[in-house]
């Protein structure tokens, strides 16, 4: 078994991986940019290695710096988390060439599935249905315009090497396509280093369903059921749930079998996610495969009673898939919902920054919060805006929604604007409650804005936090162990 691991990431996923590593008796070593030296994820590590100064491209995204950090730390393995270098085949190869264990799929699988056009071709060859669109033979703008005329509108322009909604736009009129192609190429070139784009037919009232898959080195591959990811803003997920209200037993079995075949087609090892589009007539189509752990993996963990990070580490150490995962022995229990808390305007979705004067997370039965920040944390614009994830588990969907609404109402965030009002609007929506919603839910919600925070709350938060620039004031949350008075437990 692996004894030490470098967690090549930051924020909530680095904290979450470190917790599992400690439970397994594995030394968790972190990395950090100089601006991140006091971040929460650094304090959760046994020790951390600096990556130096500079923007993410020169720190967390620098393969040489991360590999050098692993060498300096003397670790046995590297876990990439998600984002940053997690789906970079070059990084996976560099880790293995350095004599370290890569906690992820083979580099070849990352390459194939990371290129949307290549993955579409591979899935067609494997017999999976794919969304109608263009292929690698259609590359220049004139050919794409001709293909668009054949496909009809509405269409999506997508970046071949992209993800997270970047380089993606909807086109409702053919005359708007040239401009959309130019913009998509510009964004894709800046974000992914390649300006290759392609077209997909856009389905109205579609749903986004994904299946968690796992494979081992002996060739065994299973799925761990689905997650519904149809609540999105700007093609990015903000709320997920499992099980999906859109699937019956037959459809679940068919989609699960297709997800396994998709992973088998690239000899997949470790944790991955196969994403499908489901149309109004219950036809499903392969969208893409994420060759990493997903942001929304906790809802699968909650309904199955698993720790997927632990499983990742065990598989990377050479273990086989547990016997209990095979032969249909696993069965989800209850219903789980995840809410993603972003530092952003809840209407325009523009990122926000500041300092968290108060950050009090909800608690109670069936409530879990994975956070990368705490009271006093600065929130900048140089990294992803995700602050934390609220995960609730209930005996059924209605109970889970009620629990999520209560927990969201209990979440106190002062100092940085967040999308919490938007999440609450989703939970209060009759359409969401019915289970008959689709990816266009957000635009149809009523206008949402955060209620004003009373002046007394601002003052109390500021006094509790203190001014980090003033040595005479507390720079962190007060702890009873720091009190020099006659305080003692139980009083």
* 17 plus 34 within the same structural domain: yes
53 and 26 in one domain?
yes
Number of domains in the chain: 3
Give the alpha-carbon dihedral of 104, 108, 114, 120, to 10 degrees. -130
pLDDT tens-digit readout, 434-455: 999 999 999 989 866 656 665 5
Confidence at residue 386, expressed as pLDDT on a 0 to 100 scale:
97
The pLDDT value given to residue 481: 43
Q: Which DSSP symbol is given to 203?
A: P
pLDDT at 471: 41
Q: Do the beta carbons of residue 159 and residue 197 sit within 8 Å?
A: yes
pLDDT of residue 166: 78
Please tell me the predicted confidence (pLDDT) of residue 89.
Answer: 97
286 plus 197 within the same structural domain: no
Domain that holds residue 52: 4-103
Phi then psi for residue 437, to 5 deg, are -115, 175
Give the pLDDT of residue 91.
98
Contact 70/236 with Cβ under 8 angstroms? no
Write the pLDDT tens digit of every residue in 344-401. 999 999 999 999 999 999 999 999 999 999 999 999 999 999 999 999 999 999 999 9
* Distance, CA of 73 to CA of 395 (rounded, Å): 44
pLDDT reported for residue 270: 98
Whether 147 maps to a domain, the answer reads yes
Cα separation values, 247 from 18, 208, 226, 297, 487, Å: 35, 12, 9, 19, 56
Cα angle: 290, vertex 294, 296; to 5 degrees: 140
CA 168 – CA 35 distance, rounded (Å): 31
Which parts of the chain register pLDDT below 50? 468-491
Domain boundary among 153, 172, 201: 201
Is 481 among the domain residues?
Answer: no
Position 459 in a domain: no
Same domain, 174 and 68: no
Whole-structure pTM value: 0.89
Count Cβ atoms below 10 Å from residue 74 Cβ, excluding itself: 10
- Say yes or no: 93 and 196 in one domain: no
**Based on the number of CB atoms within 10 Å of its own CB, is 37 exposed (0-12), middle (13-18) or buried (19 or more)?**
exposed
Per DSSP, what are the bridge partners of residue 28? 5
Any domain includes 75:
yes
Helix (H, G, I), strand (E, B) or coil at 415: coil
| pLDDT at 70 (0 to 100) | 98
Residues 185 and 241 reside in one and the same domain: no
Is there a single domain that holds both residue 224 and residue 191? no
């Amino acid at each position: 078994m692996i004894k030490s691991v470098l967690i090549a990431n930051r924020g909530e996923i680095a904290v979450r991986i470190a917790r599992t590593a400690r439970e397994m008796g594995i030394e968790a070593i972190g990395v950090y940019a100089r601006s991140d030296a006091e971040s929460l994820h650094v304090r959760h590590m046994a020790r951390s290695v600096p990556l130096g100064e500079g923007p993410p491209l020169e720190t967390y995204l620098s393969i040489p710096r991360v590999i050098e950090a692993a060498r300096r730390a003397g670790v046995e393995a590297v876990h990439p988390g998600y984002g940053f270098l997690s789906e970079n085949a070059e990084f996976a190869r560099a880790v293995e060439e350095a004599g370290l264990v890569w906690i992820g799929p083979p580099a070849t699988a990352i390459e194939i599935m990371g290129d949307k056009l290549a993955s579409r071709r591979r899935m067609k060859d494997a017999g999976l249905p794919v969304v109608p669109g263009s292929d690698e033979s259609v590359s220049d703008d004139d050919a794409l315009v001709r293909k668009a005329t054949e496909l009809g509108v509405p269409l999506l322009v997508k970046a071949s090497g992209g993800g997270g909604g970047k380089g993606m736009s909807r086109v409702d009129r053919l005359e708007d396509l040239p401009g959309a192609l130019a913009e998509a190429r510009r964004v894709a070139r800046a974000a992914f280093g390649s300006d290759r784009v392609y077209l997909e037919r856009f389905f109205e009232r579609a749903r986004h369903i994904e299946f968690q898959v796992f494979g081992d080195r002996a060739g065994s591959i299973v799925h761990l059921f689905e997650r519904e990811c149809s609540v999105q803003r700007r093609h990015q997920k903000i709320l997920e749930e499992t099980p999906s209200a859109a699937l019956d037993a037959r459809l679940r079995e068919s989609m699960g079998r297709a997800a396994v075949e998709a992973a088998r087609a690239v000899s997949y090892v470790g944790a991955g996610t196969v994403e499908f589009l489901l149309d109004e007539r219950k036809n499903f189509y392969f969208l893409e495969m994420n060759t990493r752990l997903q942001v929304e993996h906790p809802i699968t963990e909650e309904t199955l009673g698993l720790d997927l990070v632990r499983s990742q580490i065990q598989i990377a150490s050479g273990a086989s898939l547990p016997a209990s995962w095979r032969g249909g022995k696993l069965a989800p229990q209850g219903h789980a919902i995840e809410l993603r808390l972003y530092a952003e305007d809840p209407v325009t979705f523009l990122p926000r920054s500041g300092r968290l004067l108060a950050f009090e997370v909800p608690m109670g039965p069936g409530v879990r919060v994975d956070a990368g920040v705490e009271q006093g944390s600065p929130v900048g614009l140089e990294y992803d805006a995700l602050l934390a994830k609220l995960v609730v588990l209930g005996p059924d969907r209605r109970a889970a929604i009620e629990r999520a609404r209560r927990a969201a109402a209990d979440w106190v965030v002062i100092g940085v604007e967040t999308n919490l009002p938007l999440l609450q609007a989703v939970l209060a929506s009759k359409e969401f409650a019915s289970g008959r919603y689709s990816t266009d839910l957000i635009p149809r919600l009523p206008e949402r804005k955060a209620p004003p925070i009373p002046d007394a709350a601002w003052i109390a938060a500021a006094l509790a936090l203190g001014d980090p620039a003033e040595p005479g004031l507390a720079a962190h949350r007060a702890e009873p162990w720091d009190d020099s008075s006659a305080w003692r437990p139980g009083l």
